[in-house]
Structure 1
């Protein structure tokens, strides 16, 4: 019995509606005088079935409607009359069109499902999910792509466990949507590889700058617009045993620190130079150091969040919203941020948006 109920689909129950309509229209048409023709209304049955059923179910209802039309014609003077022949042919043609529409819609849905599956796989490969715990840190993240049906875009983030600490990056490739995924992938791969080979944050930032420039130089040969591309990024390092965080700003919105009911901005007075500008880039990416104590939550984010607008054009006030959620853990904070942001923009972002919430846990065994 359970297997039967598990295999029962809502569409199979709803098919009773068009069947009942066919029976009702047929009975009323048979009982009314010959000059009253309700048979053309039978086309409603296959049209209604197409809203919830596939081409096979729609075709079956269409055949049933044609059979009903034939019965009505036979009881109202015979199939040989011109009026009934036209009604039967018309019903056949319309039902065929509806079945064809159902088939095309179902094929499109399958293709869209395949695209979504590929997009989800690409996200897991390029933008790997961050673990909920890294060393003495508890982490939660969110990613919202602006492109319709996309799972990834030009925003990026990653984390790497190093000897004695954790390094993270959050960035934003110029532009939005799928066109910037390639540049994001290059930077993420470079970060994951170089995080373990460079002992200093400036050295890591210089390596990332060189990687982005090489990639843009190769792409610019095929597309001249690529020459204008760049990547903003915030690269941070959190030592396991010191209550501090080191931040290298590469033209990215500065991190926010939630400490009790206070919101602190962690960044230089002037933002650094984005990655990928070549000779215009800063010679040295000097890190800034800030206190990051147990119980603090560090929020890294991209400008897609603070540039989100509501219907009146008002930007999303991230700092004010964070004050409302003081005391929440990273998972809850990120969930509240995502819901509140989508409510603010009416459910659709104009740019990709990403955020990472990081909490330093009290001293204990380091994982």
Structure 2
């Protein structure tokens, strides 16, 4: 709008319609820019109005008249006031946004805890990256606990962002942390998470002030017992990658299963976990789709298996995840479109 007004003034002044007094219109340009465009936009608008004023005064041979100097004075006053005001507003907004971001990050860190470095037969580490501009709180979840049934891990992704997503994350993790220690059947652990999420879904017609938990949650639960295997229950989540002797392999489920919350769409839910060999020296990576769906400027996806294979074999779990992190940042040039969560579990001994 400010630049359209400036264009209109220029047309009026350079045509026979220049008998119209355009001073008030031109003064409005930096004022409107200060409201919507910030300090840089205000400066650009002020420079444009100055150039138009000089051009039109020269074209109409109006130098030396009181009207020209009055216009220049008004433009200077409005431009300075607009720049000061827009700078103050921008600084205040930045402080408010930083505060909201800190609150959002603190809330997420309360729910998502770093996994212990040693869990029974595995050495582990975790990584969580927020995509976000603004104060978005993501819906990625992860946890790893040692139980009497072995090491149990979960990674999942709630559809959506914001408070509803973090509440769903808290509900799912709370159910997992409870069930992981008391349910001997891994399928029942997943079912407990699904049931907890169903209980939190708001029925239609409920009060708008309540938080909605809409959509679905993809989830993967892994169990590492004393035997050299890993057992998996996969509900619509990207398959984990097993790195063995420098080669990464996806542990695909034998048949696809729907995410949590979409159980009514099928009756073919997993009845037992699937087992895969998991030997000493193997590395298991659980991750969310924000990793494999990360794109570069050309639209190419991040090649997670090849990146894993390129990391040196003697890297510790924190070093391994840090190198994955750096590779992901290089690929996206720091512009993540979705949140990222990863758990790395190295089989240490049996």
* Pairwise same-fold verdict (TM > 0.5): yes
**1:169 shift after superposition:** 0.4
Q: How does 1:334-345 map to 2 (within 5 A)?
A: 334-345=321-332
Which of residues 318, 326, 331 in structure 2 aligns to 1:331?
A: 318
Which of residues 135, 147, 163 in structure 2 aligns to 1:162?
A: 147
User: Counterpart of 1:237?
Assistant: 223
Which secondary structure does the structure 2 equivalent of 1:332 belong to? helix
Whether 1:108 aligns to 2:93 is yes
Greater shift after overlay, 181-190 or 296-305? 181-190
1:247/1:267 contact within 8 Å kept: no
Which secondary structure does the structure 1 equivalent of 2:224 belong to? strand
**1:209 shift after superposition:** 1.7
User: Residues 141, 181 of structure 1: CA spacing in aligned structure 2 closer, same or farther, 3 A cutoff?
Assistant: same
Give a deviation string over 1:84-137, Cα, whole Å, max 9, x none.
999999877765554444432332232122112201211111212222222332
| Unpaired runs of at least 5, structure 2 | 1-37, 40-68
**In structure 2, distance between residues paired with 1:287 and 1:144:** 29
**1:153 shift after superposition:** 0.6
| Unpaired runs of at least 5, structure 1 | 1-49, 52-83
- Normalised to the residue count of structure 1, the TM-score between the two structures is 0.67
Which of residues 263, 276, 283 in structure 2 aligns to 1:290?
A: 276
Whether 1:208 aligns to 2:230 is no
1:297/1:358 contact within 8 Å kept: yes
1:298/1:359 contact within 8 Å kept: yes
Q: How does 1:243-262 map to 2 (within 5 A)?
A: 243-262=228-247
**In structure 2, distance between residues paired with 1:228 and 1:89:** 54
Give a deviation string over 1:252-280, Cα, whole Å, max 9, x none.
11111111212122232322221112333
**1:187 shift after superposition:** 0.9
User: Residues 111, 234 of structure 1: CA spacing in aligned structure 2 closer, same or farther, 3 A cutoff?
Assistant: same
User: Counterpart of 2:345?
Assistant: 358
Q: How does 1:1-367 map to 2 (within 5 A)?
A: 97-150=82-135, 152-176=137-161, 179-216=164-201, 218=202, 220-222=204-206, 229-239=215-225, 241-279=226-264, 280=266, 282-327=268-313, 328-362=315-349
How many residue pairs are counted as aligned between the two chains? 281
**1:160 shift after superposition:** 2.2
**1:297 shift after superposition:** 0.9
**In structure 1, distance between residues paired with 2:134 and 2:228:** 41
**In structure 1, distance between residues paired with 2:213 and 2:271:** 22
Greater shift after overlay, 88-97 or 118-127? 88-97
User: Counterpart of 1:22?
Assistant: none
User: Counterpart of 1:39?
Assistant: none
**In structure 2, distance between residues paired with 1:171 and 1:234:** 6
Greater shift after overlay, 339-348 or 172-181? 172-181
Superposition RMSD in Å: 3.0
Which secondary structure does the structure 1 equivalent of 2:143 belong to? strand
**In structure 1, distance between residues paired with 2:71 and 2:197:** 69
**1:152 shift after superposition:** 3.7
Give a deviation string over 1:178-226, Cα, whole Å, max 9, x none.
652222222111111221221110111111121122222x254448xx7
